[in-house]
Copies of this chain bind each other. A is one copy, B any other.
Amino acid sequence: MGEQGHGGARRAVQTWESLFRAQVTIMRRLQSDPVWDGVTLREYDVLFSLTKGPDEGMRLRDLNELILLSQPSLSRMVDRLASRGLVERRSAPDDARGTVVRLTPAGARVQRSVGRAHARAIATYVGGALDDDELATLQDLLERLRAAQASIPDVAPPAASDAGEDAPGA
């Protein structure tokens, strides 16, 4: 009753459930790691994301897309990180509204330190579960799953006018 797109709906839901549960299970183990003394997992996520960006820093807006946190929450978290000396805020050179966040040397040091221990835990929990080929396959599929999101429109049309329910759009 109603397969759509490529995959059947049922299989897609089951796969998402597996993805979600796997994430929960491993995340829970990672959180119990004593590494998080002094830095929350979400805070680490911010520090880590900053290392992936250019050295000049990142706009708050761009950083926010990488992190599962509302804009106000991220704003305040950056506040806290800045007051601890782990990041630096500056106003964007080309946009007076914008704020650029950058890791301080201390922040980079903390990120590396925590990241090392974090990586060790991941290697154990993820690397200990699947062999190298399987990891490569898994990573590839996840990467494509994520990349495909850019070309999939929202299920809920932003401005659904009462008429025209059947416009195929693009």
Contact = CB atoms under 8 A, between A and B. Distances in A.
Copies in the complex: 2
Given A23-B20, A145-B22, A15 B129 contact: no
A8 B132 contact: yes
Given A12-B127, A138-B141, A155-B120, A146 B6 contact: no
Contact of A9 (B20, B34, B123, B130): B123
A128 interface: yes
B66 A19 contact: no
Interface string A110-149: 0000000001111111111111101111110111111011
A161 to B, nearest CB: 16
Contact of A149 (B4, B7, B129, B145): B129
Query: Interface on chain A toward B: helix, strand, loop, or mixed SS?
Result: helix
A30 B78 CA distance: 25
Contacts of A121: 155
B22 A135 contact: no
A156 B30 CA distance: 10
Contacts of A33: 155-156
A95 interface: no
Given A18-B146, A19-B23, A34-B156, A137 B126 contact: no
Given A4-B127, A18-B142, 5 more contacts: A20-B23, A24-B67, A125-B155, A126-B145, A138-B141
